[in-house]
Structure 1
Amino acid sequence: MKKVLIITYYWPPAGGPGVQRWLKFVKYLPDFDIQPIVYVPENPTYPIVDEGLLEEIPEKAIILKRKITEPYQLASVFSKKNTKGISSGIIPNRKKQTFLQKALLWVRGNIFIPDARFLWVDPSVKFLKKYIRENGIDTIITSGPPHSLHLIGLKLKEELSVQWFADFRDPWTTIGYHSALKLSSYAEKRHRYLEKKVLTSADAVIVTSKTTKEEFQAITSKPIEVITNGYDIEKVEKHPLDEKFTLAHIGSFLSDRNPKIVWESLQELISENKQFAGSFQLKLIGKVSQEVLDSITAHHLEAHCVNLGYVSHKEAIEHQRKSQVLLLVEIDSAETKSIIPGKVFEYMVSERPIIAIGPKDSDFAEIITATNTGAFFTYTDKEKLKEVLLSYFESYLKKDLKVYAVGLQQYSRKNLTAKLAGFIAHS
């Protein structure tokens, strides 16, 4: 059985979408004659914790843990709330940022290069060099963000004759929040230098969307494979659909994802249609920024809103399957066209229609359309959005609101792992 060392930061009990990708790959890799050895921090700073995911770690996986020194641990002494929010990607609105928030963002972008886990690089390289030699490992995979982990792979590649795959769950310098980090010209150049160094030094690169592949092809000639996130077979108790006409957003709801087009449409439908007003409920599940909550209040939707906060992955799946309609939102920016939210695949197998909002030519719009799992709208399609919401509501009244998905099997975690195993074997 081939041994593969996987270097990742997010691992159970971490919650959120970042942990799912490699947890599921590790689950299925032994089926393809690959022994996964997972290297993770022993004392990480996770903004979201889901203890239930510990039960999903497969017995066949070998888990290595080493302590990490993180500046976030020190910064949290000054402001635990702000530090936790920034580390989870919730960037405060630029016009409303406090002096402390501005300072933390400046430090995050200009001192913590490429991110706050950079102090883990050298100790990890020292430990892993010995482990790799003693255990006959010839293939390593690094997963980012945090992109510091790619620097571990870079140094191991330079010092040992190993095959190295760099897996980018999200882009590096083109990710939505990069421009919010108040980068100096030196920091900006340093980020781009490290990004190019990783992309040109890895034996191959794995990305989650075709747009990221196109962006990286302008930087490197190394092989790049698109392996999206996906869905797994989830054993959860079946619940009846919500009695109300629920529109549910599940996952982190960041300030920059604030879809005023949705709030305006809902406000108008509630005003224009008494039956809709009496039946509608907005469900928020996960971390929600204050700006999003303020917008909901400004559009007089608070009486129709239930904010459940963060729930376990299992509970999130239950809500996906019993909500009437699911809301998916991505930032309205050219830089986010490549982002395919991990939850879109779980949404697609929930058998509930998806309302998706994002920038024009978004990669995930193509997936939703091709699988017939919902409707996509740009941030200027308000009248079309209202029409679809109303048509879904009318189907709900007839108890006939459902979707007829096609082509989902290609996104199953096992099939995606087969693709990964084939790429490893032939690269």
Structure 2
Amino acid sequence: MKVLIITYYWPPAGGSGVQRWLKFVKYLQDFGVEPIVYTVDNPNYALTDESLQKEVPDNIQVIKQPIFEPNTIFSFFKKKNKKTSAGFLAQKPGVINKIMHYVRANYFIPDARKFWIKPSVNYLSTYLKKNPVSAIITTGPPHSLHIIGYQLRKQLNLKWLADFRDPWTDIDYFHHLPLSKKAKEKHFKLEKTVLETADITLVVGETMKRNYQKYTDNIHVITNGFDTKMSTDESTTLDTKFTLTHIGLMNADRNPTILWKVLDQLCKEIKGFSDDLEVVLVGSIAEEVNNELNGYNNISVDRVGYLPHKEVQFYQRKSQVLLLSVNNVPSAKGIITGKIFEYLQAKRPILAIGPTDGDLAAILNKTQSGVIVNFDDIDNLKVNIQKLYEQYKNNTLTTQSVNISSYHRKKLTEQLANIIKQTVKS
């Protein structure tokens, strides 16, 4: 059984967007599904990681077609080090930036990859007639890829699975966009069309599933996960300092302001805490976060920057505590950052800040791998950090996590393969 996977993010793309379908492709053949990958030939990736090329099976066919990206034009106006996952949301105030922001929000719908839709449909409609597959799969964001799937579904009457790694109109930064009423209506209409037309919708969490059930009943949750055995045979020496390590983009919405306040208080209240403490930030840091941290002289911060995936795993394993901060936005309950699953694999205590009744909290509770504190619960956060610090001082800072095997990428791919087979048969 062959399936065509249409994805924008593919090695050498770095960051979280590439991981999900790279891992599915890695294991799908083990379950009787042969993937063919369709991706971009000249991508404008904000992050690259050449090491991920090695994870693509040698016998996988990867088809590439060029794309015109207006991002390359807009990037002329911004500094290279200002790139973030939300792209233009990182722009500084100013007339030109505001104009670019407005134009991109209102004229590139669903996103700036819209110019890949027509040439991709033209190319793939011919390709698929000569090279038939049992189903097509699109993954977004960028959600322009779902429009490719929609048009191919209508033209060729193929089974279509639409995978949402992140929500569309519920994504964390949607409420920040300077959208006109007409533009908002177009987003909602396109989202509804995709959900109602796709034979199957795949999502990464229960909250997204509940939100989308008003459009479709054919919806399945397949979370993200972790890969490999993670080196039980590799000896890792823990940091000597009381390290709180955050992996990934730390943008303004994700800035854990109460954490910095609590750490500053503990530095002043507990003898030796300031000397022991080190906050480690691996990945891009928004200017707002840097500015706030610079105001706390007692907090030692190691700004590591972006690292290849394998080096990130090393930081995860050696950290005393793994920090996870959910974006403080209206859709926070449904946010499950991909890093949580690799945190589980690292088997270090997790300290999360976010909704205690959200999808992330459910995973932490199921696996008993850490604690989560609400965005404004400063007292509870302080108590939990004190407990972790005491365990660190007593050399008892460990985690006894359970039920994590269900999040292995191969196990998740088995679920996907079963859904694909059921969809094709129906």
Partner of 1:261: 258
AA matched with 2:4: L
Q: 2:22 aligned with 1:23, yes or no?
A: yes
| Cα displacement string for residues 17-76 of structure 1 (whole angstroms, at most 9, x for unaligned residues) | 110000000000000011010111000010111111111111132111010000001112
Distance in 2, matches of 1:223 and 1:147, equals: 19
- 1:125–1:156 Cα contact (<8 Å) kept: yes
Partner of 1:242: 239
Cα distance, 1:160 vs structure 2: 0.2
Unpaired runs of at least 5, structure 1: none
AA matched with 2:254: R
Q: 2:191 aligned with 1:206, yes or no?
A: no
- 1:175–1:336 Cα contact (<8 Å) kept: no
Partner of 1:227: 222
- 1:199–1:205 Cα contact (<8 Å) kept: yes
| Cα displacement string for residues 355-404 of structure 1 (whole angstroms, at most 9, x for unaligned residues) | 10113422111101110111000112111111111111111112221100
Cα distance, 1:333 vs structure 2: 2.5
AA matched with 1:68: I
AA matched with 1:293: N
Cα distance, 1:104 vs structure 2: 2.6
Distance in 2, matches of 1:178 and 1:81, equals: 23
Partner of 1:135: 131
Partner of 2:192: 196
Cα distance, 1:295 vs structure 2: 1.2
Cα distance, 1:301 vs structure 2: 4.6
AA matched with 2:206: K
SS at 2:334 equivalent: coil
Partner of 1:272: 269
Partner of 2:398: 402
Percent sequence identity is: 46
Cα distance, 1:412 vs structure 2: 0.6
1:326-365 paired onto structure 2 within 5 Å: 326-365=322-361
Unpaired runs of at least 5, structure 2: none
Cα distance, 1:103 vs structure 2: 2.3
Residues 284 and 357 of structure 1: CA distance in aligned 2, closer, same or farther (over 3 Å): same
AA matched with 1:283: V
SS at 1:18 equivalent: coil
- 1:85–1:91 Cα contact (<8 Å) kept: no
AA matched with 2:223: T
AA matched with 1:13: P
Residues 21 and 98 of structure 1: CA distance in aligned 2, closer, same or farther (over 3 Å): same
SS at 2:12 equivalent: coil
Partner of 1:85: 83
Cα distance, 1:290 vs structure 2: 0.6
Distance in 2, matches of 1:334 and 1:12, equals: 32
AA matched with 1:25: F
Distance in 1, matches of 2:38 and 2:15, equals: 19
Partner of 1:389: 385
Cα distance, 1:111 vs structure 2: 1.0
Distance in 1, matches of 2:335 and 2:113, equals: 23
Distance in 2, matches of 1:361 and 1:209, equals: 13
Distance in 1, matches of 2:11 and 2:308, equals: 12
AA matched with 2:310: K
For residue 164 of structure 1, the aligned residue among 150, 160, 166 is 160
Residues 352 and 278 of structure 1: CA distance in aligned 2, closer, same or farther (over 3 Å): same
| Cα displacement string for residues 64-104 of structure 1 (whole angstroms, at most 9, x for unaligned residues) | 1010000001112222448x6255447349xx633333223
- 1:241–1:324 Cα contact (<8 Å) kept: yes
Distance in 1, matches of 2:206 and 2:38, equals: 28
SS at 1:17 equivalent: coil
Distance in 1, matches of 2:285 and 2:298, equals: 15
Q: 2:306 aligned with 1:310, yes or no?
A: yes
Q: 2:320 aligned with 1:320, yes or no?
A: no
Distance in 1, matches of 2:226 and 2:144, equals: 27
SS at 1:309 equivalent: coil
- 2:206–2:334 Cα contact (<8 Å) kept: yes
Partner of 2:364: 368
Partner of 2:5: 6
Please tell me the root mean square deviation across aligned C-alpha atoms, in Å: 1.6
AA matched with 2:211: E
AA matched with 1:85: K
AA matched with 1:72: N
SS at 1:164 equivalent: strand
Partner of 1:298: 295
AA matched with 1:158: K
Of the structure 1 ranges 260-269 and 292-301, higher mean CA displacement relative to structure 2 is found in 292-301
Partner of 2:376: 380
Distance in 1, matches of 2:296 and 2:88, equals: 22
Q: Which TM-score applies when normalising by structure 2?
A: 0.96
Distance in 1, matches of 2:167 and 2:87, equals: 14
AA matched with 2:318: K
Distance in 1, matches of 2:272 and 2:283, equals: 28
Distance in 1, matches of 2:228 and 2:407, equals: 11
Residues 138 and 372 of structure 1: CA distance in aligned 2, closer, same or farther (over 3 Å): same
Of the structure 1 ranges 394-403 and 3-12, higher mean CA displacement relative to structure 2 is found in 394-403
- 1:41–1:68 Cα contact (<8 Å) kept: yes
Residues 238 and 110 of structure 1: CA distance in aligned 2, closer, same or farther (over 3 Å): farther
Residues 381 and 170 of structure 1: CA distance in aligned 2, closer, same or farther (over 3 Å): same
Cα distance, 1:289 vs structure 2: 0.3
